[in-house]
């Protein structure tokens, strides 16, 4: 069962593909309470052997990570998949834009599987191809499109990556956003940064030294992005009005509260957090950087970490000699990432053992072609 770009856009609008396509999980999914669930997972994984390669994103549940062959961030995992051409099945325990990237970078003979098709990304869904095309038309009408270089965050759909590649832009990660944006500003006069306004603003202002006045937010739900042509012309960075539902919830109040509660604590946050939070933090870094920062810190260090809760809890477990707490007192998992659970993983693995391929993610060849151009441009950055 393949998932097309149309399907992924339906997912972004909250459509239940299982219902839409007549595919049913209930009755097939093992029960969460099944006492044999772990053993079934072990048996299925062993039966698949080298035919399958299981990828686990850092934000996944521990019960899923236990069966991952590798763990990492989205782009690292996609590259790991591409480096395993002998694996017939790539089981991506993450969200749909990650599985798309894996499909783009792997060979045609490999099949990428997302254990739950409803595992999307709220940020990626905040920019669809129709909205971005309308934005580009408006930039063209304002006479600035030919001066504008699009840069899209890895957390975007294949269709948005393809738009970026077709218009001379690049993809970036949270760790190389500064390099990507600097490259774009050397190539053009403006940057259209998609879809996370916070990463774009933090990169432009806190890393490249631009001012907040150099940035303007493009709201896809308003005519002309909610901007005048004069504002569009004046801005150097056009920030798409998108955000991460997890990182966007952290506030300066969270920072102040944890500092008052835990003397000597250092605040470590992801650059998808709001500008005010990133400005108030002690250390800012990508997911991989957060993990390394904590691991390399001295025993007795105190950290309040502003990122997804599964990762923060794993950091605390892996670093028992340090005090590690969640930055916000309210529990916050990535709800879409957490759709991937052990029953879904067992379901797709056992189905493969039985000769049934479920939840395959495929990207339209034309979209894949231009998306790969943007991804290759990222790999070519200094």
Q: Is 1 helix (H, G, I), strand (E, B) or coil?
A: coil
Model confidence pLDDT, tens digit, residues 93-103: 999 999 999 99
Nearest CA-CA partner of 267 in 283, 254, 251, 256:
283
Q: Percentage of the chain surpassing pLDDT 70?
A: 92
CATH number 3.40.50.10800 given to 124-243 = yes
Same topology, domains 2-121+337-363 and 124-243? Answer is: yes
Architecture of domain 2-121+337-363: 3-Layer(aba) Sandwich (3.40)
Model confidence pLDDT, tens digit, residues 337-356: 778 999 999 999 999 999 99
Compute the CA torsion angle 367, 132, 60, 335 (nearest 10 deg): -140
Angle at 177 (CA atoms; ends 172, 179), nearest 5 degrees: 105
User: Which token pair is 6?
Assistant: 């149309």
* Domain parsing of the chain, residue ranges: 2-121+337-363, 124-243, 247-326
CATH number 2.60.40.420 given to 247-326 = no
Question: N- to C-terminal Cα distance for the chain?
Answer: 39
Q: In what order do the strands lie in the sheet with 237-240?
A: 170-172, 148-153, 190-194, 237-240, 215-218
Model confidence pLDDT, tens digit, residues 23-73: 445 458 998 889 999 999 999 999 999 999 999 998 889 999 999 999 988
Model confidence pLDDT, tens digit, residues 254-278: 999 999 999 999 999 999 999 999 9
Residue 331 pLDDT level (bands cut at 50, 70, 90): low
């Amino acid at each position: 069962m393949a998932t097309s770009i149309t399907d992924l856009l339906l997912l972004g609008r909250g459509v239940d593909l299982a219902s839409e396509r007549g595919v049913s999980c209930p009755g097939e999914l093992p029960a969460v309470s099944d006492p044999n669930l772990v053993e079934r997972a072990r048996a299925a994984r062993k039966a698949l052997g080298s035919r399958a390669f299981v990828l686990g994103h850092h934000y996944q549940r521990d019960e899923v990570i236990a069966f991952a062959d590798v763990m990492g961030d989205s782009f690292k995992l996609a590259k790991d998949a591409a480096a395993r051409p002998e694996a017939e099945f790539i089981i991506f325990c993450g969200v749909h834009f990650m599985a798309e990237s894996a499909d783009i970078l792997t060979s045609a003979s490999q099949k990428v599987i997302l254990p739950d098709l409803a595992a999307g990304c709220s940020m990626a869904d905040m920019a669809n191809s129709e909205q971005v095309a309308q934005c580009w038309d408006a930039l063209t009408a304002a006479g600035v499109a030919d001066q504008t270089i699009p840069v899209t965050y890895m957390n975007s759909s294949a269709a948005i990556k393809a738009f970026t590649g077709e218009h001379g832009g690049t993809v970036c990660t949270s760790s190389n956003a500064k390099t990507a944006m600097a490259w774009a500003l050397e190539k053009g006069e403006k940057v259209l940064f998609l879809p996370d306004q916070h990463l774009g603003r933090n990169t432009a202002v806190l890393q490249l030294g631009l001012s907040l006045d150099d940035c303007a937010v493009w709201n896809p739900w308003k005519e002309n992005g909610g901007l005048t042509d004069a504002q569009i012309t004046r801005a150097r960075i056009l920030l798409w009005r998108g955000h991460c539902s997890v990182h966007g919830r952290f506030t300066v109040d969270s920072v102040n509260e944890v500092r008052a509660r835990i003397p000597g604590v250092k605040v470590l946050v992801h650059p998808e957090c709001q500008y005010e939070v990133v400005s108030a933090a002690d250390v800012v870094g990508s997911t991989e950087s957060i993990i390394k920062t904590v691991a390399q810190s001295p025993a007795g260090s105190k950290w309040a970490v502003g990122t997804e809760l599964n990762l923060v809890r794993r950091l605390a477990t892996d670093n028992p000699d340090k005090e590690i707490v969640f930055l916000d007192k309210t529990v916050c998992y990535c709800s879409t990432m957490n759709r991937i659970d052990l029953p879904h993983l067992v379901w797709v693995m056992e189905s493969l053992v039985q000769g049934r391929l479920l939840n395959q993610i495929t990207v339209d060849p034309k979209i894949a072609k231009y998306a790969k151009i943007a991804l290759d441009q990222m790999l070519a950055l200094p």
